[in-house]
Amino acid sequence: MSKTIIAWADHSWNPCTGCDPVSMACIDPAGRAGCYARYTCGWLHRVGQEKYRNNFKFTTHPYALAEPGKRKKPTIYFVNSVSDTFHEKAPLEFIQEIFRAMNSSPQHRFLVLTKRVERMLQLDSQLPWAPHIWAGVTVEHPDYLHRLELLRQVSSPTRFISMEPLLAPMPQLDLSGVSMVIVGCEKTPGTKRPGRPMEEEWVRQLRDMCLEQGVAFFYKQGVRNGKVVETPELDGQKWVQMPEGIVLEKNQG
């Protein structure tokens, strides 16, 4: 468990590490990995952290299940920031252990983001979703809009979409059943250089859809003067909205 540079969470919690590419956001057309998780696992492996001894190979860490319960201050956790909770190699029993740990700490908010929404939905009836456990999917391109339709069927009371990296403009979206949309450009791992291009007008169109439909909008990162910057302004203001009136630690004071 550690503080995170990811703008929409206070801390990351990784009872799993490692993953495998499943969609356009994972690897660019030239075959280069643009994955934050892969870069992070590789770096921590190289510096000798025991938890990352398997580098980017999917691995479960049962000892990490107790970590959120040790922290009493209400916190927003990004669950498995360097993995995918619904990875095909994650045993159902271990996923259920993750959910038991989350349900034992209702003072926190847990954001569970996946690209494997099909498995999330398949296991839905066997998982104890609760209001403080949010279900999210990555939708980086219109080719993956089916994930949004499947997300709507998941039992979590709070659902969110991450459109990072946003790789193409989106059509007009029906955001019913969605509480938050996160948007960001691609960043070359380990640098402040942008990856594949993202047009600010694509961001503006999504912002407007959220405003029209009463959905929280979080503009996570964009490009300014050739560099990636966190929570940039759009039309004169920052957009760091969260559902339920929640304020992140890093935005307090």
CB 62, CB 101: distance < 8 Å: no
Q: Kindly give the confidence (pLDDT) of every residue in the chain, 253 residues in length, as a single tens digit, with 9 standing for 90 and above.
A: 667 878 999 999 999 999 999 999 998 665 666 788 999 999 999 999 999 999 999 999 999 999 999 999 999 999 999 999 999 999 999 999 999 999 999 999 999 999 999 999 999 999 999 999 999 999 999 999 999 999 999 999 999 999 999 999 999 999 999 999 999 999 988 888 999 999 999 999 999 999 999 999 999 999 999 999 999 999 999 999 999 777 676 655 4
Q: What pTM, to 2 d.p., does this model score?
A: 0.95
Q: d(Cα 85, Cα 20) in Å, to the nearest integer? A: 12
> What Cα–Cα distance (Å) separates residue 237 from each residue in 6, 63, 179, 207, 240?
19, 42, 21, 12, 10
Q: What is the tally of structural domains in the chain?
A: 1
Among candidate residues 75, 97, 90, 145, the one with its CA nearest the CA of residue 120: 90
107 CA to centre of own chain: 20
Task: Please classify residue 166 by burial: count the beta carbons closer than 10 Å to its beta carbon, then call 0-12 exposed, 13-18 middle and 19+ buried.
Answer: buried
Tokens linked to 18: 């490692």
Question: In 195-204, which positions are buried (b, 16+ CB within 10 angstroms) versus exposed (e)?
Answer: bbebeeebbe
Domain limits for position 224: 2-251
Q: Find the helix or strand (DSSP H, E) in which 205 lies.
A: helix 200-213
- Give the type of residue at 101: A
CB 230, CB 238: distance < 8 Å: no
CATH code, domain with 106: 3.20.20
